[in-house]
Amino acid sequence: MLEELKQRVYEANMLLPKYGLVTFTWGNVSEIDRESGLFAIKPSGVDYDKLTPEDMVIVDLNGNKVEGKYNPSSDTATHVELYKAFPEIGGIVHTHSSYATSWAQAGRGIPCYGTTHADYIYGEVPCLRCLTKEEIEEAYEENTGHLIVNEFKAMNKDPKAVPAVLCKNHGPFAWGKDAHEAVHNAVVLEEVAKMAYRAETINQRIQPAPQELQDKHYYRKHGANAYYGQNGGK
Amino acid sequence: MLEELKQRVYEANMLLPKYGLVTFTWGNVSEIDRESGLFAIKPSGVDYDKLTPEDMVIVDLNGNKVEGKYNPSSDTATHVELYKAFPEIGGIVHTHSSYATSWAQAGRGIPCYGTTHADYIYGEVPCLRCLTKEEIEEAYEENTGHLIVNEFKAMNKDPKAVPAVLCKNHGPFAWGKDAHEAVHNAVVLEEVAKMAYRAETINQRIQPAPQELQDKHYYRKHGANAYYGQNGGK
Amino acid sequence: MLEELKQRVYEANMLLPKYGLVTFTWGNVSEIDRESGLFAIKPSGVDYDKLTPEDMVIVDLNGNKVEGKYNPSSDTATHVELYKAFPEIGGIVHTHSSYATSWAQAGRGIPCYGTTHADYIYGEVPCLRCLTKEEIEEAYEENTGHLIVNEFKAMNKDPKAVPAVLCKNHGPFAWGKDAHEAVHNAVVLEEVAKMAYRAETINQRIQPAPQELQDKHYYRKHGANAYYGQNGGK
Amino acid sequence: MLEELKQRVYEANMLLPKYGLVTFTWGNVSEIDRESGLFAIKPSGVDYDKLTPEDMVIVDLNGNKVEGKYNPSSDTATHVELYKAFPEIGGIVHTHSSYATSWAQAGRGIPCYGTTHADYIYGEVPCLRCLTKEEIEEAYEENTGHLIVNEFKAMNKDPKAVPAVLCKNHGPFAWGKDAHEAVHNAVVLEEVAKMAYRAETINQRIQPAPQELQDKHYYRKHGANAYYGQNGGK
């Protein structure tokens, strides 16, 4: 069942080594079929160069494995919580990509310093707090999902406009309308994290890009008046 | 029409991924045919690995599409302004290359710290101010071109001697006598941006290279007394 | 004799250039056969692209060459001391990998700033003192081994839980249950060293990851209650 | 004439792009035949992917072209001075390799922070002063050679033990017993420059490696008591 979904999720997972976002097995991508409420996700700890489409694991929104010979990613419970709370997203990716993870380790959100960022992400990429000892011990991966959801609500952030987050001392999650767009956003996040790192070194009194420039670039590519690419009306 | 021009512009665009200057579709190259007043430019938002010479879009100096099935680059209006104001240039490139964009995000021009820079660029690569809210809302891409032109005039900079500029919180534009030389200068700019970044980290009291050394290297490669390469008289 | 061991050690050595951990001949991997008390190690100063399985040198735990046409790695005596003192390890690797060596040159251990680190290494990767002039002149490589062993004892560190160390002004050693795992840990170490470097630049008041998060990730992958990958009980 | 020399110099030049030491044509390698007093050097400004062994230019120690259809490297006069003053060297390389050039731009010598450096270079890699306006205008490339020679004499540095130098605001020269060893040393220099850059960021109170450790590593590989590799007596 869901062979096309598994193929797409396989291909999206294989983009992670292609774009240099993973070392060894440090990443996973999923995509959900909203009709059935099932999603496909990478199996846990399987090498990318041995991965096949059939290895993808099918999981339901209770986190139960429905099909597959392997255990799903150890981060599956986080994916479940995000799919449940964010009905507008269809794909999720977690990596330990180097620059984004360095910001997460540093415990800082990534300010919007330029249009590369604003073209895809509206405003700062937030870095959340660590889970408490109780949250970790009770249900680490599930509570990671709860924290992302609750903090986005508390910050009044739209997950479509801010398709990425940093978990403190851990690493990034990114998402999109499907697995492919989720990986695309993870690549953007890594580039943005790299440029912000360097920009702060070049100018220690750096300020975020002016709001009107952020708006211009974000809305040049998103929403009713977008004119970037081949779909706009210009 | 202009098949050779489209071929050259296609090839110049394909140098951007080859030299690591672009992620996804974040760059565009154009070249103008001065006789007809028409230029070829990359279509907007089309992936580099799907690009063909026939996809190049022909545009006139009023910014109107003359030929091509795709929309031209969203930055086309900036190219138009530069071609109109700088008759000595024949090719233009815009990228979000990592180090040059980091300087742009930091809002600083790149000082000339050495001969790698002086061999190609006479003096600092300037970083311009952001556009105002009014300039952005009225005609963002066109006004980006106006700003570059006006600031080069105000600074009395010769666009042949300073073939690159940083737009604050955005990224670099570079140019040259044709599309190929424009890309060559974009590669130089990225290398120079990288070395300047590192040199400032190594010595926080760093000073620009002495003027006589800058002059020596620039004029060793440019002008009547050049002797670098196979064209000089030495 | 020990043809399979030589083959495995050859393959593990060839992973060093694959993962970008060595320049020229700056690295060596060994693996021990605990039954015979013999280990195979890379020959000294032989280029990786000329290396063959038969070139591996067999050495006993007195440091004497038992088989092989080449001299063993100049660091052989360090390997001997580690194999003698740490019976739970089966493979050792030494490199001058760039980030880990930079921390060694800086004379600082690598703090545990996140889960990438905690997934494999329990707590800080220690940086040991330099050998004294007497220790260097008497028996440099052997005394390097003694120092690692003695400092691990003094710090009460378990070499299974902390499978890497930095030798001040020199570079890293890493180890594991066999040559392949030792190289895997050397790759982890380099990634962790890179992220810690960047994280400290991003936040100069950075603190190590909370202990409960380190524990969670380490024990998610190690010990009786591990559930990462395909071997856990989850 | 000197076909083998041209072949060797061609191959050594081609190592520069292989090891990532050059962008475009920013580098040149030569090797001298001490019997005839002639050396082969890369032609000026010719692309590496078009270079052939026959393109190498033969030059005498007066700097006159003896054979070849191209102009020799614009830095030929510097090579001449080094060959005349340092009879123990047989090959020379000049690059704008990124990290070494950044140190040169910063105007600082590279301290010996570890054994990677000490294995090949005895003590600091010096960064010389800029040429004066008069020296530049009179004979820039020749005076660059004079400066290197005079400063090495003034510092009492042995060019065999310190096979590299940084020219301020310009970039590195390296040398060796032949062209191949010169390029090898240029690769070492770039690695050492990279590690020193990072080590200073990690620890701002860093000190050079203890002299006894530098001595140990240098003499483990050089001189009568060397035992690294397959030529030593151990």
A41-58 confidence digits (pLDDT tens): 999 999 999 999 999 999
Residue B116 contacts D where some CB pair is shorter than 8 Å: yes
**Which residues have CB under 8 Å from C67's CB, separation 6+?**
C1, C2, C57, C58
Among D45, D170, D197, beta carbon nearest to B228: D45
In whole angstroms, what is the distance from residue A227 CA to residue B13 CA? 21
Q: What are phi and psi of A29, to 5 degrees?
A: -130, 145
In chain C, which ranges are E strands? 27-33, 38-41, 57-60, 65-67, 91-95, 127-128, 164-167, 171-176
Tokens standing for C207?
A: 């603190």
A194–B98 CB contact, under 8 Å: yes
8-state DSSP, C224 = T
State both tokens at B223.
Answer: 């002008």
Q: Helices D133-154 & B211-221, crossing angle to 10 degrees?
A: 110
H/E stretch holding C90: none
Q: What is the pLDDT of residue A231?
A: 65
The pLDDT of residue B230: 84
What average pLDDT does the segment B183-194 reach?
Answer: 98
Distance CA C197, CA C214 (A): 19
Measured between CA atoms, the residue of chain B closest to residue D144 is: B213
CB nearest A169 (choices: C115, C198, C227): C115
Whether C119 has a pLDDT exceeding 90, the answer reads yes
Residue C233 pLDDT greater than 50, yes or no: no
The two structure tokens encoding residue C225: 């209650």
Q: Do A98 and C198 touch (CB under 8 A)?
A: yes
The whole-chain average pLDDT of chain D stands at 96
Asked if the C-beta of C110 comes within 8 angstroms of chain A's C-beta atoms, the answer is no
Residues with Cβ within 8 Å of residue D110, at least 6 apart in sequence: D100, D103, D117, D124, D125, D127, D166, D189, D192, D193, D196
Put simply, whether A194 touches C (Cβ < 8 Å) is: no
Q: Tell me if residue C26 falls in helix, strand or coil.
A: coil
Residues 6+ apart with CB under 8 A from A214: A112, A115, A117, A118, A122, A123, A208
Is the pLDDT confidence value at B231 over 70? no
**B203 with D46: Cβ contact below 8 A:** no
Taking only the tens place, the pLDDT of each residue in D171-216 is 999 999 999 999 999 999 999 999 999 999 999 999 999 999 999 9
D233 touches C at CB < 8 Å? no
Q: Contact, C163 vs C185, CB < 8 A?
A: yes
C-alpha A209 chain-centroid distance: 23
In A113-221, at which residue ranges do the beta strands (DSSP E only) sit?
127-128, 164-167, 171-176
pLDDT in tens, C46-105: 999 999 999 999 999 999 999 999 999 999 999 999 999 999 999 999 999 999 999 999
D160 sits in which H/E element: none
The span from the CA of B57 to the CA of B61, in Å, is 13
Residue C229: pLDDT over 90: no
Percent of chain C with pLDDT over 70: 98
- Whether A86 and A175 have beta carbons less than 8 Å apart is answered as yes
What share of chain A in percent tops pLDDT 70? 98
**3-class DSSP state of C165:** strand
The Cα–Cα gap between B28 and B7 comes to: 14
Q: Are D81 and D34 in contact (CB under 8 A)?
A: no
Bridge partners, residue A127, by sequence: A166
Contact D166, D105 (CB under 8 A): no
Which chains would you list as touching A if contact means 3+ CB atom pairs under 8 Å? B, C
Is D203 part of the contact surface with chain C (CB cutoff 8 Å)? Answer: yes
Nearest one of D99, D33, D29 to D66, comparing CA atoms: D33
Give the active site residues of B: 119, 228
Q: What is the ipTM of this complex?
A: 0.95
Q: Residue B18 corresponds to which tokens in the numbers above? A: 């080859």
Task: Kindly list the distances between the CA atom of residue A43 and the CA atoms of A49, A136, A185, B33, in Å, as whole numbers in the listed order.
Answer: 13, 22, 22, 55
- Is residue A128 predicted with pLDDT exceeding 50? yes
Quick count: other Cβ atoms within 10 Å of Cβ C50?
7
- Interchain proximity D202–C26, CB inside 8 Å: no
Q: Determine whether D122 is an active site residue.
A: no
Q: Do C169 and D194 touch (CB under 8 A)?
A: no
Domains of chain B: 3-221 (3.40.225.10)
In angstroms, what separates the C-alpha of A180 from chain B's closest C-alpha? 13
pLDDT in tens, B2-23: 999 999 999 999 999 999 999 9
Least confident of B26-30, B140-144, C146-150, C220-224: C220-224
Looking at residue D234, its pLDDT comes to 36
> In the structure encoding, which two tokens stand for residue C214, read together?
């380190």
Q: Do C45 and D230 touch (CB under 8 A)?
A: yes
pLDDT at C234: 36
Residue B143, beta-bridge partner list:
none
**Contact call for residues C234 and C226 (beta carbons, < 8 A):** no
B158 alpha carbon, distance to own chain's centre: 14
b/e B176-203 (16+ beta carbons within 10 angstroms → b): bebbbbbbbbbbbbbbbbbbbbbbbbbe
Q: Phi/psi at D110 (nearest 5 deg)?
A: -100, 110
Q: Is C60 among the residues known to form the active site?
A: no
Q: What is the mean pLDDT of chain B?
A: 96
Strand partners, C57: C41
pLDDT at residue D231, rounded to an integer: 65
d(CA A71, nearest CA chain C) in Å: 6
- pLDDT, residue B234, reads 36
Q: Which residue has the tokens 């739209």?
A: A158
Spell out the residues 6+ positions from residue B34 whose beta carbon is closer than 8 angstroms to its own: B87, B90
Question: For B151, phi and psi rounded to 5 degrees?
Answer: -70, -35
Read off the pLDDT of each residue in B46-56 and give the average, rounded to a whole number: 96
Dist. CA A14–CA D5, nearest whole Å: 47
pLDDT value, residue C169? 98
The radius of gyration of chain A from alpha carbons, rounded to an integer in Å, stands at 17
For chain B, count helices (H), then strands (E): 7, 8
Please tell me if residue B69 touches chain A, with a CB cutoff of 8 Å: no
Instruction: Give the gap in angstroms from C-alpha C123 to the nearest C-alpha of chain A.
Output: 14
> pLDDT digits over A132-160, tens only?
999 999 999 999 999 999 999 999 999 99
Q: Give the pLDDT confidence of D94-127 residue by residue, as tens digits.
A: 999 999 999 999 999 999 999 999 999 999 999 9
Give the residue among D169, D114, D121, D116 at the shortest CA–CA distance from D147. Answer: D169
Compute the average pLDDT of residues A79-96. 98
> B168: which residues sit within 8 A by CB, 6+ positions away?
B104, B107, B127, B128, B129, B130
Residues with Cβ within 8 Å of A171's Cβ and at least 6 positions away in sequence, in order, are A94, A95, A96, A97, A100, A101, A104, C114, C115, C116
Contacts of C137 in chain D (CB under 8 A): 212, 216
How large is the average pLDDT for residues D47-55? 96
Band (pLDDT 50/70/90 cuts) for residue B228 is: confident
Residues of B within 8 A of D137 (CB-CB) are 212, 216
The arithmetic mean of pLDDT across residues B17-41, rounded, is 97
Instruction: Please give the torsion angle defined by the CA atoms of residues A104, A206, B185 and D127, in that order, rounded to the nearest 10 degrees.
Output: -90
Cα C57 to Cα B214, C1, D16, D223, distances in angstroms: 55, 11, 32, 25
